[in-house]
Amino acid sequence: MTTTLAPALELDSPLQGLPGVGPRRAERLREAGLETVEDLLFHLPFRYEDRTRCSRIFELAPGLPATIRARLLSPRLIRTRRRGFTIFEAILDDGSGAIRSVWYNQPYLDKVLVSGREGFFYGEPRLAREGMNALVLQNPEFELLGEEEEPEETIHTGRIVPVYRSASGLGGRALRRLIHQALSALGDGIEDFLPSEIRRKLSLTWRGLALRSVHFPPSDPSADTSMEELSEGASPYHRRLIFEEFFLLQVGLALRRRQRRLEERGFRYRFTEETRRKLAALLPFPLTRAQKRVLREIQEDMEGPAPMNRLLQGDVGSGKTVIAALTLAIAAENGLQGALMAPTEILAEQHHRKLEALLRTGAYTLDLLTSSVRGAGRRKLLERVESGETSILIGTQALIGSSVRFARLGLVVVDEQHRFGVVQRAALREKGYRPDILVMTATPIPRSLSLTVYGDLEHSLLDEMPPGRQTIKTLLRAEEHRDRVYEGIRRELARGRQAFIIYPLVEEKEQSELKAAVEMAERLQRGPFADLRVACMHGRMNRPQRDETMAAFARGEIQVLVATTVVEVGIDVPNATVLVVEHPERFGLSQLHQLRGRVGRGSEKAYCILMLPEKLSEEARRRVEVLANESDGFRIAQKDLEFRGPGDILGTRQHGLPALRAGNLIRDASLMTLARREASAFVERLAGGEAKLSRALAQRLERRWQGRFNLLQAG
């Protein structure tokens, strides 16, 4: 009689029909992403409270939360003078003592908490305002003991109690009850879809037990877990649910990688001795060990029959562009066209400049396609691309526009992929003969993230800097020291060096920020740098103006360049030794790190000065301080991830970040690595016929991936 639920409640059952969930509530829960019983069960507690131990009332102390078992006396509902504000008050007595308890604005308690009832009460005693050391409980949670309604187990008190974030107007307590009811009604009918060999090997808790215990952990001291583990999401129940979530993700990714390996492109690259010599002759310096290793990895991909799908990660200045240039040259040497896609026009222009300089032999025809290439010029360019005359086409997403047709596209290098969607990548692939794809990112991505967002790519890492790179001294300076900062800059300039001053460009405020940058340049030119050459550069200037400004800065004719973030990536002026960032708190840490990479590119000591505004939150300050103490891009990115969460680092959700319900990319990074390893091995076993794909797992994968690939044959 404890439940009115249909006996056959399943994980897939809709929430509507559970006690207290009518059509309207069901609709609101659905909007919050809770549609089925399983969704509800994946609404995990965000913390737990140990209410196992009962205290006697005489032991209670202010500020220490406690559970008591007591009888209710003298309940009364007080209507205050404030309209609609009520206080329900009662005395709780357990024989050892008595304590007053109040509940605000819950007049219906009048019907529930009647005199003489006994129950568990949980709350934090406070000193009452009347003084005299009297204690009071405010809004304690409670659970009544009664003849008829006595629950088999208490759920709100007298145990380790789950605490939930409210969802769709359902408070934590209502959720707790609902989840408890769902779990009771489910019974033992929860199937486990993880392959049993993996479950055994990793000693993973059975699914049904994990789902139950993650909400209502056993309280006895011999239990498999502790309060610490529970609250850190590290209990065996958590780990089981997180692992399954990661495993589904990684099996899908492993299947995709496998499928791609089975694809064949229409051509194979060859590396003749001549190609090798030519490439070696291109560079004025020897490659670093890391560059050599990465180039070998790329060559192996290119020599194989399947298209390359590789992610190249490396800190700012680690030499990714050099690798891109060589890879494009290899394609050209093999008579194939290459495309280099950048996230913005300015970056495309910079890549064009850089590649022209690097591949200076003139053996390859480089073309730049941006929106400012129009009319006859554009028509001619597109003809060159279509006829195959263009060896390397550089541009933005315009490259994948329908008007661009390649004669034989063999390689696509995508810079800063995370700003492109998966869709664009697929569109590009369709333009060529299954071209090789090399994705470069200068935003170092913490591994747990890259294993998901880029989980379908092979990974290469440039973990070594070219020789002679200076560490950059990073200083935090307050507004009141601005004059001294200018003096410092003057000293550097007097030694023949150059400086950047960077302004953030926040989109919604673009106009005023732009103005700020322009005005700053003027003010500096009139004031502290009157005898020096100051210029301003921003994204609203047209290409020739920007080009001219950049070129003048590179030639040393401009000494101070005030710029919006257009210099973020790619500008290479070794003589620039000072970079001042205004409003550093408005940048992401990784972005700041990249900005900082604009200096220290030569052999001179370099400085990055972060100008702190007067009003700066404690958190913003701590964030900015990370930069002063860290020079390693990956560690900075990891901190960034901790501060801002994965969504912010990669921009938006559309970048294929998985919607995680149990797992947390930061906290559970090692489980992600484990899941990836197990998933890859499992997919290999599947392919080799040594493992079977159960129907339950196949269904799960289908649902998780919504048919985005054909699974290997089930069964």
Q: Which residues bind ligand ADP (CB under 6 A)?
A: 285, 287-288, 291, 314, 316-322, 442, 466, 572, 601
Residue whose structure tokens are 């919050």? 32
Q: Does 321 bind Mg ion (CB under 5 A)?
A: yes
Compare residues 442 and 578 and give the one whose CB is closer to ligand ADP. 442
Element housing 351 (H / E):
helix 345-358
Question: How many C-beta atoms lie closer than 10 Å to residue 115's C-beta?
Answer: 12
Residue type for 594, please? Answer: Q
Which x/- pattern over 575-604 shows residues binding Mg ion (rule: CB under 5 A)? ------------------------------
314 binds, options Mg ion, ligand ADP, none, Cβ within 5 to 8 A by partner type: ligand ADP
Token pair of 304 as six digits: 């194989």
- Asked if 413 contacts 438 with a C-beta cutoff of 8 angstroms, the reply is yes
Report the 10 Å Cβ neighbour count for 713.
Answer: 8
Decide whether 101 or 321 has the Cβ nearer to Mg ion.
Answer: 321
Please identify, using beta-carbon distances, which residue of 538 and 601 lies nearer to ligand ADP.
601
Element (H, E) at 70: strand 66-79
Using an 8 Å Cβ cutoff, are 413 and 351 in contact? no
Stretch near Mg ion under the rule CB under 5 A, chosen from 289-297, 319-327, 406-414, 586-594:
319-327
Which among ligand ADP, Mg ion, none contacts residue 319 (Cβ within 5 to 8 A by kind)?
ligand ADP
| Residue 267 Cβ vs Mg ion, minimum distance, rounded to whole Å | 28
CA 191, distance to chain mean position in Å, is: 31
Q: What's the closest the beta carbon of residue 316 comes to Mg ion, in angstroms?
A: 7
Least separation in angstroms between CB 446 and ligand ADP:
18
SS3 387: helix
Instruction: Give the residue from 478, 468, 466 showing the smallest Cα distance to 605.
Output: 468
CB of 470 to ligand ADP, least distance (A): 12
* CB-nearer residue toward ligand ADP: 213 or 441: 441
**Phi-psi bin for 706: left (phi > 0), alpha (psi -120 to 50), beta?**
left
What are the distances in angstroms from CA 439 to CA 149, 640, 652, 680?
Answer: 62, 22, 18, 21
- Residue 442 CB, shortest distance to Mg ion, in Å, is 6
Between 288 and 448, CB nearer to ligand ADP: 288
Return the one option of ligand ADP, Mg ion, none that residue 572 interacts with (CB less than 5 to 8 A, by type).
Answer: ligand ADP
Least Cβ distance, residue 466 to Mg ion (angstroms): 12
Quick one: 183 or 439, whose CB is closer to Mg ion?
A: 439
Question: CB-side exposure of 473: number of CA atoms within 13 Å?
Answer: 8
Binds 464, which of ligand ADP, Mg ion, none (CB < 5 to 8 A, cut-off by type)?
none
Q: Which does 443 bind (CB under 5 to 8 A by kind): Mg ion, ligand ADP, none?
A: none
Give the nearer residue to ligand ADP in terms of CB position, either 99 or 322.
322
CB of 358 to ligand ADP, least distance (A): 7
Write down the least CB distance from residue 471 to ligand ADP, Å: 15
Nearest Cα neighbor of 633 from 597, 662, 605 is 597
Locate 386 and state its tokens: 């279509």
Identity of the residue, 287 or 409, whose beta carbon is nearer to ligand ADP in the bound complex: 287
Phi, psi (deg, nearest 5) at residue 317: 80, 5
DSSP state of 304: S
In the bound state with ligand ADP, the residue whose beta carbon lies nearer, of 217 and 317, is 317
CB 183 → ligand ADP: shortest distance, Å? 52
Phi/psi of residue 276, each to 5°? Answer: -60, -45
Q: How far is CA 152 from CA 41, 64, 181, in A?
A: 20, 28, 12
Cβ–Cβ < 8 Å for 15, 40 = yes
Element housing 311 (H / E)? strand 309-314
151 close to 95: Cβ distance less than 8 angstroms: no
Containing H/E element for 55? Answer: strand 54-55
Look up residue 581 and give its two tokens: 């960032």
- Taking the least distance from each CB to ligand ADP, the nearer of 320 and 546 is 320
Minimum distance, C-beta of residue 294 to Mg ion, in the bound complex (Å): 14
Compute the least distance from the CB of residue 438 to ligand ADP, in Å.
Answer: 13
Nearer to ligand ADP, 321 or 577 (CB): 321
144 or 392: whose CB is closer to ligand ADP? 392
Report H helices in 454-607: 482-494, 510-526, 543-554, 589-596
Least distance between ligand ADP and beta carbon 708 (Å)? 32
Min CB(462)–Mg ion separation in Å: 11
CB of 536 to Mg ion, least distance (A): 24
Which span sits near Mg ion by CB under 5 A: 112-120, 269-277, 318-326, 369-377? Answer: 318-326
| For ligand ADP, the closer CB: 200 or 292 | 292
**Residue matched to tokens 């639920």:** 5
**DSSP H stretches of helix in 556-710:** 589-596, 618-629, 633-644, 646-649, 669-687, 695-705
Residue holding tokens 């063999």?
410
Instruction: Determine, following the binding rule CB under 5 A, whether residue 67 of this chain makes contact with Mg ion.
Output: no
288 binds, among ligand ADP, Mg ion, none (CB under 5 to 8 A by kind): ligand ADP
Q: How many residues bind Mg ion (CB under 5 A)?
A: 1
Long-range contact pairs involving 85-92 (C-beta distance under 8 Å, separation at least 24)? 88/113, 92/57, 92/68, 92/121, 92/137
The site partner of 285 among Mg ion, ligand ADP, none (C-beta below 5 to 8 Å per kind) is ligand ADP
Q: Which does 466 bind (CB under 5 to 8 A by kind): ligand ADP, Mg ion, none?
A: ligand ADP
Query: By CB under 5 A, which span of 135-143, 163-171, 320-328, 650-658 interacts with Mg ion?
Result: 320-328
Nearest to 441 by CA among 593, 332, 289: 593
Binds 14: which of ligand ADP, Mg ion, none (CB < 5-8 Å by kind): none
CA distance 184 to 638: 41
309's contact among Mg ion, ligand ADP, none, with CB below 5 to 8 A by partner kind, is none
DSSP code, position 594: H
> Which of ligand ADP, Mg ion, none does 316 bind, CB closer than 5 to 8 A by kind?
ligand ADP
Residue 321 or residue 460: which is nearer to ligand ADP going by CB?
Answer: 321
Taking CB within 5 to 8 Å according to partner kind, which of ligand ADP, Mg ion, none is near residue 104? none
The footprint of Mg ion (CB under 5 A) covers 321
